[in-house]
Amino acid sequence: MVKTIELVDGKVVMLDQSRLPLEVRYVECADYHKVAEGIKKLWIRGAPAIGIAAAMGAAIGAQEIKADRFEEFYEALEPVFSTMIATRPTAVNIEWAVNRLRKLLKSKKELGVGGLKALLIDEANNMLAEDIEVNREIGRLGVRFIRDGDTVITHCNAGSLATGGYGTATAPIRAAIERGRKVHVIADETRPVFQGCRLTAWELMQDGIPVTLITDSAAGALMRKGEISLAIVGTDRTAANGDVVNKIGTYTLAVLCKEHGVPFYVAAPTSSIDLSIATGDLVPIEERDPEEVTVVSGCRIAPEGVNVRNPAFDVTPAKYVTAIITEKGVFKPEELHKLKESPVRSSTRSF
């Protein structure tokens, strides 16, 4: 499985996904500004991966701070945290990661500034390791939805590249294959920046998982012919009512699934579930550079001066979602409130 990001000798090393699949190149980020640049420019992308990158960026940013007292140190860290949060607005994972670091610092003041600096590095590494474990659990819980011989459609990239490793949407697929089931993946190319084509197809091929690439507009035709058994996608932020915010085109896919009776599953680590936000319509949707639409691989494909809209994400209303597979259980969208209860039990209902 391909390595997305790691902390090496006080530097954040990330695979530059903007160059895949043509070039496998790792970028070394020696300061937090460079990490923020990497998140903005999609060198690293995918909600869990940018959460981890933000934590790592903040951890290396903290090492530069000259302060003796906790209050001084904590205050000096705020601009580092806010730089990370400002990179991309839609995925909740960056805020989740930063809030986790804030809470940890406040609970361990007694370690002193030196101890806290070391703790931040450890915690960023923990987040990476935990993320892989969380995804494996999503795989263990989600594997029951994939039968031998199934064809699974996915959108964008919610695989190893989008996470610490193993992926979220790919987790049940990987788990099914590990259990000896035959599974075929259909990857939507995912306009405008082709995460399905450049990333999902590439990573699955690296791991020997059968994959067929289609244009986004081909999904309906395949479903109509009965060629798709189920859909599994990731999420950048899922709201308390079960509305799922994910890569633009996810909504279209979900509506097609409903029309054709294809189950539509969302693989969501709890770090991507935002119970503080009531509905998907309240989630800020990132609008990206129009050139992502008009220029492909350096080649202009649209008339100069054309009006462009480029929302990077959309909202799939909860009514289209069959179930949300988290590491803490599988939930109907309307059951997400159960995540507030402890201990959380996996729903026993069938989906």
Write out the catalytic residue numbers. Answer: 236
Least distance CB 161 / ligand MRU (angstroms): 9
Interacting span for ligand MRU (CB under 6 A) from 5-13, 139-147, 156-164, 340-348: 156-164
Give the gyration radius of the chain's Cα atoms.
20
Least distance CB 296 / ligand MRU (angstroms): 16
CB 132 within 8 A of CB 160: no
Interacting span for ligand MRU (CB under 6 A) from 44-52, 204-212, 296-304, 319-327: 44-52
Contact pick of 15, 141, 153, 158 for ligand MRU (by CB under 6 A): 158
| Phi, then psi, of 143 in degrees rounded to 5 | -65, -25
Residue with tokens 């420019």: 41
Q: Is 48 in the site for ligand MRU (CB under 6 A)?
A: yes
CB 291 within 8 A of CB 256: no
| Token pair for 99 | 């809030």
**Distance in angstroms (rounded) separating the CA atoms of residues 203 and 15:** 13
**Distance in angstroms (rounded) separating the CA atoms of residues 248 and 272:** 17
Q: Which sign does the torsion angle of CA 218, 22, 164, 92 carry?
A: negative
**Distance in angstroms (rounded) separating the CA atoms of residues 158 and 49:** 10
Contact pick of 83, 160, 246, 294 for ligand MRU (by CB under 6 A): 246
* Positions 210 through 239 that interact with ligand MRU (CB under 6 A): 234-236
Least distance CB 287 / ligand MRU (angstroms): 12
Least distance CB 170 / ligand MRU (angstroms): 9
Contact pick of 62, 92, 134, 162 for ligand MRU (by CB under 6 A): 162
**Distance in angstroms (rounded) separating the CA atoms of residues 258 and 255:** 5
Compute CA distances 222 → 186, 212, 214, whole Å: 10, 12, 10
Contact pick of 247, 273, 294, 331 for ligand MRU (by CB under 6 A): 247
Total count of residues recorded for the chain: 351
Contact pick of 36, 77, 119, 312 for ligand MRU (by CB under 6 A): 312
Q: Is 316 in the site for ligand MRU (CB under 6 A)?
A: no
Q: Which residues contact residue 171 at a Cβ distance below 8 angstroms, ignoring those fewer than 6 apart?
A: 135, 136, 138, 139, 142, 267
Least distance CB 148 / ligand MRU (angstroms): 25
Size of the site for ligand MRU (CB under 6 A): 17
Q: State which residue has the least CB distance to ligand MRU.
A: 234
Least distance CB 116 / ligand MRU (angstroms): 30
Q: Which residues contact residue 64 at a Cβ distance below 8 angstroms, ignoring those fewer than 6 apart?
A: 31
Q: Which is nearer to ligand MRU, 121 or 132 (CB)?
A: 132
| Token pair for 84 | 């990370």
Q: Is 45 in the site for ligand MRU (CB under 6 A)?
A: yes
Site map 65..104 versus ligand MRU, x via CB under 6 A: --------------------------x-------------
| Phi, then psi, of 195 in degrees rounded to 5 | -65, -30
CB 97 within 8 A of CB 55: yes
* Positions 163 through 182 that interact with ligand MRU (CB under 6 A): 163, 168
Interacting span for ligand MRU (CB under 6 A) from 42-50, 68-76, 79-87, 121-129: 42-50
Q: Which stretches of the chain bind ligand MRU, using CB under 6 A?
A: 45-48, 91, 156, 158, 162-163, 168, 195, 234-236, 246-247, 312
